[in-house]
Amino acid sequence: MSESMRPTPEAEHLHQELSAVWGNSPGWRGRLSVVNHSTLGLRFMFTGLVFFLLGGVLAMLIRTQLALPDQAFMSPEIYAQVTTMHGTVMMFLFAIPMLEGLAIYLIPKMIGARDLACPRLTAFGYWCYLFGGIILFASLLLEMAPDSGWFMYTPLSSSEYAPGPGSDFWLLGITFVEISALSAGVELTVSILRTRAPGMALHRMPLFAWYILAMALMIVVGFPPLILGSVLLELERAAGMPFFTVAGGGDPILWQHLFWLFGHPEVYIIFLPAAGIVSTLIPVFAGRPIVGYGWVVAAIVITGFISFGLWVHHMFTVGIPQLAQAFFSAASMLVAVPTAIQVFVWLATLWLGRPRMTLPMLWVTGFLVIFVCGGLTGVMLALVPFNWQVHDTHFVVAHLHYVLVGGMFFPLLAGAYYWLPLVTGRMPSEPLGRLGFWLTFLGFNLTFLIMHWTGLLGMPRRVYTYDSAMGWDLYNLISSIGGFMMAAGIAAVLVDLVLHGRYGRRAPPNPWGADTLEWSLAMPPASYNFASLPRVESRHPLWESPSLGEEIARGEHARPGAAHGRRELFGSEALTGRVRQVIHLPGNSLLPLYAALCLAVVCVSLLTRLYPLALLGLAGAGVLLLRWSWENGGHSRAAPLRHDEPEDPPLHSRTADGPGRWTMGVALLADGAFFLSLLFGWFYLWTVSPEWQMPARSPLSLPLLLASGAALTLGSLWLERRVAALRRGREVGLTLALGGIAALGGLHVALLVLVLMVAGLSPTATAHDATLLVGLAYLLAHGGLATVLAALQAWRAGLGLVGARLPFEPGVVALLWRYQVGVYWILVAAIALLPRLTGAGP
């Protein structure tokens, strides 16, 4: 810790007091119960680094195999596993979690908060990532790794052509890891919108926060299609439901749609935070504010949206009508505009400032060179006729590495070198860092620039061998040499990182002369980040008042210390940054670990086909998560009602609008994306699948469906009325009313079960019945959850944990009910009404 940051006894006292409340508990138990965002952010990044190195070893194996023609270094089976796992590990276990970790670590520090809004969710996300990653990677050690390519096209990945457990490892492991990504997406969104420093209105937010907000929302909307796809494919593999099998009325192309609906936004989910690093570093090293802040915000929003309209450009060869391809082709080119806006904003900032070529800027420069090249080949690939030629060749392999390594890895290292002094308090070594950069940069270009050419000469991707007569030998050899050179560069960087922690020069405060709040903290930052919470009225707080750090440490800003024993931060208005309430956060907890362990049990028992154990694990996870939600609000382990409570602003659980409401809202957004994907799947199979069979009469009983929906709608309306009354301070008969609402929910679920029983579906025979089953199961799960939560609210009202002084929670549950009413009627219209109206369908 830098002494200059805490010079006075008051500051030392504050530090003791805050550390006692915010610190991680000691010992092993303490390490497992951490919920602090700094610790967990670093854990995310460290785990991501380990997976990166493992994925890198796989890459080196690939390059060894392809270095010469007709090599027998690896058998074709092993090669297939290695290529599949290289892509999977790099995308799902390295790129996404690494950037999430960076955001989890940095965002609260940048927006002036002491932690993220949902600390236990951070921990849960980390454990899910760790366990999912271990399960997935274990498959490689067991030599039963997935081998159908990292996008797992059906039918190659379905049970007939991939009978081993490899595909199951992929589907279950990835879904597990995606739960982690979704948790991070939800809480980053809520934190950025609701926990910014007082006065930090939307238009004063650091650009990095805008980028992460976009990334988080894109994760929330973009990951559910793949989760749905994975669920359906696993159901097909394990239970024989023919979603992707032509003979049963399914369609293998549906998988491609679901995969790329996720897969293309994924590229931008990876690129946006990296571009956020670039947009943060360039103003610092150019010594001036960014040119065109508003333009960058617009570019971020545009990228976020347009990237969802490009997915078909991965599918230009599947035989979609040319006009539809032209739409996607044009949309793919459109995304070049926001990217160009950002590049020229950066250029303008450099030209209008006085840039310094520091080590982080060297990596940013490497990023620019590589990424511009990859972006330009990306525009080429958007052109349909050209795409038809080079699709699935090494040209595409080269392009995607230019975009992903250039667009993510280089900025990430720029960011690593930039924020390293913050994390460790020491400066990295310049000579070693530069050596690492040049080896990596030159090695990368040697590998992949040549690879464009190999692709143009006709080398398809994912071949384990090639004939010397093809004329690809020399280019492959060069690529392999370059690959090993890049590996040497990364090794040098790693050595630098390790050595600097021990021998690095002590970093002075704010060593780069940066403008954002994280540099006002101690280096390394304390568990609570800010000893007092500053007001921020500028985009560049540290440039405006360089002594901000000392003022914060001395407790000269709002809410210094933690004499009340609660973990507190400000809940601010999303738009203006005006303070609305004080958010009290939960402390260290083992519940996230236990819940994630239960899910790991589910995952492993599904892999080993021990279904009863899987059910047990699921029930365990459910109970633990409900217990987790129980320790909230006025609970004795959260913030029990007291007489000396803050009034202005009040604690969030005493208001109607805490961050939990937003968490529920954003989680429902993800849920809605899942639901829309399901709806898309239904209509897609119905209209496009070659052998779809629509029964002459819908098997679903309409009267029962209407009755069930009526119970649900009534319950929801009743709940809304009680929530409104609670806001006005009326709590008479609350327990009874909530109990009644739960009973209506029970009726809704019971009637839905009856619908299912009467229908007599045969989900293994037709995709139609299988889709109905999944739709009804979706409604049942949500109806069941809504019912249980309403019943728990009744119980809490009885215990005095919900009432006029604690009106918060029923409003959160009401959102779920509202959502269920919406999806219920939409789904009933789609699967029960519409088929009746159109007869047997087209």
The interface region with another protein, picked from 10-18, 41-49, 332-340, 789-797 by CB under 8 A, is 332-340
CB atoms within 10 A of CB 431: 9
The contact mask relative to another protein for 547-586 (x = CB under 8 A, - = no) is ---------------------------xxx----------
Interacting positions 235-294 with another protein (CB under 8 A) = 246, 251-253, 291-292, 294
Which sign, positive or negative, has the C-alpha torsion 144, 149, 153, 155? negative
The interface region with another protein, picked from 76-84, 90-98, 512-520, 693-701 by CB under 8 A, is 76-84
Rounded Cα–Cα distance for residues 651 and 658 (Å):
9
Q: What per-residue string of b and e applies to 1-16 under the rule 16 or more CB within 10 Å gives b?
A: ebeebbeeebbeebbe
648: helix, strand or coil: coil
Could you say whether residue 826 binds another protein (CB under 8 A)?
no
> Which of 80, 790 has the CB closer to another protein?
80
CB atoms within 10 A of CB 637: 11
Give the pair of three-digit tokens for residue 404.
């992903």
Report CA-CA distances (Å) from 620 to 253, 592, 671, 692, 783.
36, 12, 22, 39, 19
Could you say whether residue 834 binds another protein (CB under 8 A)?
no
> Which of 628, 686 has the CB closer to another protein?
686
Tell me which of 53, 68, 333, 641 binds another protein, using CB under 8 A: 333
The interface region with another protein, picked from 340-348, 502-510, 582-590, 636-644 by CB under 8 A, is 340-348
> Which of 299, 832 has the CB closer to another protein?
299
# chain residues binding another protein, by CB under 8 A: 121
* Helix segments in 428-524, DSSP class H: 430-456, 473-503
Q: Judge whether 132 and 176 are in contact, CB under 8 Å.
A: yes
> Which of 576, 693 has the CB closer to another protein?
576
Rounded Cα–Cα distance for residues 758 and 769 (Å):
13
Could you say whether residue 628 binds another protein (CB under 8 A)?
no
- Bridge partners for 582 per DSSP: 570, 651
ω into residue 155 within 30 of 0, thus cis?
yes
Q: Give Cα 540 to chain centroid, integer Å.
A: 28
> Which of 294, 612 has the CB closer to another protein?
294
Could you say whether residue 302 binds another protein (CB under 8 A)?
yes
Interacting positions 668-707 with another protein (CB under 8 A) = 687-688, 690-691
Could you say whether residue 438 binds another protein (CB under 8 A)?
yes
Tell me which of 26, 319, 431, 612 binds another protein, using CB under 8 A: 319
Q: Find the length of the chain.
A: 842
Smallest gap from residue 396 Cβ to another protein (A): 10
Smallest gap from residue 317 Cβ to another protein (A): 5
> Which of 578, 805 has the CB closer to another protein?
578
Could you say whether residue 724 binds another protein (CB under 8 A)?
no
Could you say whether residue 474 binds another protein (CB under 8 A)?
yes
- For residue 785, give the nearest of 595, 598, 618, 610 by alpha carbon: 618
Could you say whether residue 463 binds another protein (CB under 8 A)?
yes
Tell me which of 42, 49, 53, 336 binds another protein, using CB under 8 A: 336
Interacting positions 348-367 with another protein (CB under 8 A) = 348, 350-352, 355, 357, 365
CB atoms within 10 A of CB 300: 25
Could you say whether residue 723 binds another protein (CB under 8 A)?
no
> Which of 65, 230 has the CB closer to another protein?
65
- For residue 518, give the nearest of 189, 124, 37, 40 by alpha carbon: 37
Rounded Cα–Cα distance for residues 462 and 725 (Å):
63
- For residue 420, give the nearest of 517, 498, 526 by alpha carbon: 498
The interface region with another protein, picked from 73-81, 484-492, 585-593, 743-751 by CB under 8 A, is 73-81
**What string of DSSP letters covers 739-774?**
HHHHHHHHHHHHHHHHHHHHHT--TTT-HHHHHHHH
Give the pair of three-digit tokens for residue 46.
């460290």
Could you say whether residue 77 binds another protein (CB under 8 A)?
yes
Give the pair of three-digit tokens for residue 81.
């596993």
Smallest gap from residue 44 Cβ to another protein (A): 29
> Which of 460, 565 has the CB closer to another protein?
460
Could you say whether residue 201 binds another protein (CB under 8 A)?
yes
The interface region with another protein, picked from 26-34, 180-188, 380-388, 552-560 by CB under 8 A, is 380-388
Tell me which of 136, 220, 384, 772 binds another protein, using CB under 8 A: 384
Interacting positions 114-173 with another protein (CB under 8 A) = 147-149, 153, 155-156, 160-161
Rounded Cα–Cα distance for residues 339 and 341 (Å):
5
Angle 359-382/336-352 helices, nearest 10 degrees? Answer: 150
Could you say whether residue 389 binds another protein (CB under 8 A)?
yes
H helix or E strand, kind and range, residue 377:
helix 359-382
Give the pair of three-digit tokens for residue 829.
């219209």
Smallest gap from residue 28 Cβ to another protein (A): 45
> Which of 9, 319 has the CB closer to another protein?
319
Could you say whether residue 369 binds another protein (CB under 8 A)?
yes
